[in-house]
Amino acid sequence: MSSSHLSIFPSHKLSHLSSHSSLSSLSSLLPSPLAPTTYRLSTTIHCGLRDLRDRIDSVKNTQKITEAMKLVAAAKVRRAQEAVVSSRPFSETLVEVLYNINTQLQTDDIDVPLTKVRPVRKLALVVVTGDRGLCGGFNNAVLKKAESRIAEIKALGLNFIVISVGKKGNTYFLRRPYIPVDRFLDLGNLPTTKDAQAISDDVFSLFVSEEVDKVELLYTKFVSLVKSDPVIHTLLPLSPKGEICDINGVCVDAAEDELFRLTTKEGKLTVERETVRTPTPAFSPILQFEQDPVQILDALLPLYLNSQILRALQESLASELAARMSAMSSATDNAIELKKNLSIAYNRQRQAKITGEILEIVAGAEALI
Which residue numbers are catalytic?
135
Q: Which of 247, 243, 287 is nearest to 91 (CA)?
A: 243
> Facing residues of 230 across strands?
220
How many CB atoms neighbour CB 76 within 10 A?
A: 19
Q: Where are the alpha helices (DSSP H) in the chain?
A: 22-29, 49-104, 138-155, 167-174, 193-208, 293-368
**Residues 6+ away with beta carbon under 8 Å from 194:** none
The helix/strand/coil state of 265 is strand
CB half-sphere exposure, 309, CA atoms < 13 A = 30
Residue 94's contacts (CB-CB under 8 Å, 6 or more residues apart) are: 242, 300, 303, 304, 307
Q: What is the DSSP letter of 37?
A: S
